[in-house]
Structure 1
Amino acid sequence: MIETEQSSNVFLRADSITLTYQDGRNLVYALREVSLDIGDGEFVGILGPSGSGKTSLLYALSGIRLPATGSVYLNGEAINSPGFPREAVRRRSFGFIFQQYFLINYLNVVQNIVVGAVRENAESRNRARTLAAELGLSGMEHRKPYELSAGQRQRVAIARAVINEPLIVLADEPTANLDHATGAPVMQLLTENLGQSALVVVSHDETVLEGADSLYRMWDGELTRLR
C-alpha cells in the first residue's frame, strides 16, 4: 500500500522531515529525516517509548508544527508552504484523539462531540447523538465528563475525532490511561467507527497496534518500518 511513491492511494506523505526545538542553548532533534506514506483507509501503527518523537510526528503530519527541513504533502500539496490554509484543512481533514481526552467539563457528551464538527448545527448534533449510541453511550448524552468513567470519556473523544468523517484520525497513546480490559474494547470501537478514514496510532504498547496494516518503530526521532 505505501511501499512506493507511485502508490495511487497515498494521500498524506512526509518527505524527509526534520523537526527541531530549542532547549536553552541546545538544538534538539525531535524528528530526523522521517519519511512516511499513508494510504486511503490505512491503519498505521507507530511503536516507541516516551520521548522518542511519536507525538512530534503527529504534530508535523497535521501541520501543527512545521518541519525545519523536508515537507508534508496532503493530496500532493505541501502543507508547510506559504499560503496553505492549514487551520481550515486541519479542522476538516484531521481528527485527533489525545491521551488526556481534552473534554470540556461544563459541556455534556453530545456538546463535547460537536466541538469537533466543522459547524454546529442540527445535522452535527444528530450525528453526535448517533455516534454516542454507536459507541455505547446511550442514555449518557447529557452527562458531563466528570460523570463518566475513563473508558467512557475516551469514547467521547473518539466520537469527536470522527464526527467530520475526516481523511485521517491521529491517535496519541489512546489507551495509555486505561487498563487492558478497558483499552482493548476502546481500540475496537475506534477501528469500527472510522468509516473510510485512515488511522495513525502512536503507542508504547505493541498490543494496541496489533491490527495495524503497517507497523513502524520510532526511536530518537528516527522511523524504521517493522512490517
Structure 2
Amino acid sequence: MIQLHHVSKDYQQINALDDLNFQIEQGEIVGIIGKSGSGKSTLLRILNLIETPTKGEIYFGEKEIQTLTKKQIQQTKQTIGMIFQHYNLLSNLTVHQNVALPLKLLGKTNHEKVDELLDFVGMRMKSQYYPAELSGGEKQRVAIARALVRNPTLLLCDEPTSSLDEENTEEIIRLLKRTHKEFSPTILFVSHELSSVKTLCERVLVLESGRITDEFFNTPKDVSSPVLSYAERIKRGVKDVRN
C-alpha cells in the first residue's frame, strides 16, 4: 500500500503539489487525471523516488521514504516500473537490448525473461529491430516489456497513450489490463484523457492546481472486442454524425 500524508512540493515560488492525502491499495488500478500543469508529472517524480516532497510523508508499505538509506532507496526503486509518454527507448539499442537494459544496469542478464516479455507484448518477432524501425504503438509495447523486466510491484504510467492514435490506444489499454491480470502490479495511470482513464481504472482522482479536488469509483469499459479498422472507424463516425 502507498500512502500520502499532507504531501506538498514547492519549486521556489511555485506550489506544484498542495497537501495531498490519499492511499493506493496493493493491486489497485488508480487513475490520476488532470490538465497540463496540474502537478501530475511532479507527483510521478516523487512516487518514482526521483524527488522528495517539500512537506509531508509518503509510505511504501510500513516504510516512510524519507527515512530510507540510499541502499534502501535503490532497492525500492527496483520494485517500480515506469512507462513514459514518449517511450524513452535508446535509439542505438535493439528491442531486445532496450528491454534487457534495466537488468544490465544491475549487472544481471536474463535473455529468457526478456524473450518471454517480448512474447507477452507481441514484439518477439521484432526483437532485433531498432526503435526507428517501429511504429508508436510498437515502441510503447517495447517500453511496457522493459518496465516489467524487474518484476515491479508498482507500475507508473505517465500519459502512455497520449502520443498514440485511437487504435493503438485501445491496444495499449488492453495490454495494461493483461499486465494487471498476469502480474498483479499496482498501476497508477496518469493522463489528461478521460476516456483512457475510464477504460482502464477502477478509481480515479482528479488533480487540479496541485490538489486532489475529487475522487470517484469507476467500472472500466470492456475493450475485449476486436479493434475496428481505420476505414470502419471512419464509417462509424459518419453514421454517428448522420444520426
Instruction: Say whether the fold is shared (TM-score over 0.5).
Output: yes
Following TM superposition, by how much is the alpha carbon of 1:121 offset from its aligned partner in structure 2, in angstroms? 3.9
Following TM superposition, by how much is the alpha carbon of 1:16 offset from its aligned partner in structure 2, in angstroms? 1.1
Residues 63-142 of structure 1: pairs in structure 2 closer than 5 A: 63-81=49-67, 83=69, 85-90=72-77, 92-117=78-103, 119=106, 121-122=108-109, 124-142=110-128
Partner of 1:180: 166
Given the alignment of the two structures, is residue 218 of structure 1 paired with residue 215 of structure 2, yes or no? no
Unaligned ranges ≥5, structure 2: 218-243
Q: Which of 184, 190, 194 is the equivalent residue of 1:196? A: 184
Residues 51-62 of structure 1: pairs in structure 2 closer than 5 A: 51-62=37-48
Following TM superposition, by how much is the alpha carbon of 1:120 offset from its aligned partner in structure 2, in angstroms? 5.1
Given the alignment of the two structures, is residue 12 of structure 1 paired with residue 7 of structure 2, yes or no? no
Unaligned ranges ≥5, structure 1: 1-10
Counterpart Cα distance in 1 of 2:139 and 2:96: 12
Partner of 2:194: 206
Following TM superposition, by how much is the alpha carbon of 1:82 offset from its aligned partner in structure 2, in angstroms? 5.6
Counterpart Cα distance in 2 of 1:82 and 1:180: 42
Task: Indicate the SS of the match to 1:41.
Answer: coil
Counterpart Cα distance in 1 of 2:208 and 2:116: 39
TM-score (norm 2): 0.83
Say whether the 8 Å CA contact 1:60–1:72 is kept in structure 2: no
Counterpart Cα distance in 2 of 1:192 and 1:119: 27
TM-score (norm 1): 0.88
- Which consecutive aligned stretches of 4+ in structure 1 deviate over 2 angstroms post-superposition? 81-85, 116-122
Counterpart Cα distance in 2 of 1:73 and 1:39: 12
Task: Indicate the SS of the match to 1:139.
Answer: helix
Task: Indicate the SS of the match to 1:65.
Answer: coil
Counterpart Cα distance in 1 of 2:195 and 2:107: 36
- Greater radius of gyration (CA): 2
Partner of 1:21: 11
Counterpart Cα distance in 1 of 2:192 and 2:102: 26
Task: Indicate the SS of the match to 1:73.
Answer: strand
Counterpart Cα distance in 2 of 1:39 and 1:62: 17
Identity percentage of aligned residues: 30
Partner of 1:31: 17
Counterpart Cα distance in 1 of 2:135 and 2:168: 10
- The aligned length equals 211
Task: Indicate the SS of the match to 2:66.
Answer: coil
* Aligned-residue RMSD, C-alpha: 1.5
Following TM superposition, by how much is the alpha carbon of 1:49 offset from its aligned partner in structure 2, in angstroms? 0.7
Counterpart Cα distance in 2 of 1:217 and 1:138: 37
**Residue deviations 1:195-226 (CA, integer Å, cap 9, x gap):** 12100001010111123121110100001313
Counterpart Cα distance in 1 of 2:165 and 2:187: 22
Task: Indicate the SS of the match to 1:165.
Answer: coil
Greater helix content: 2
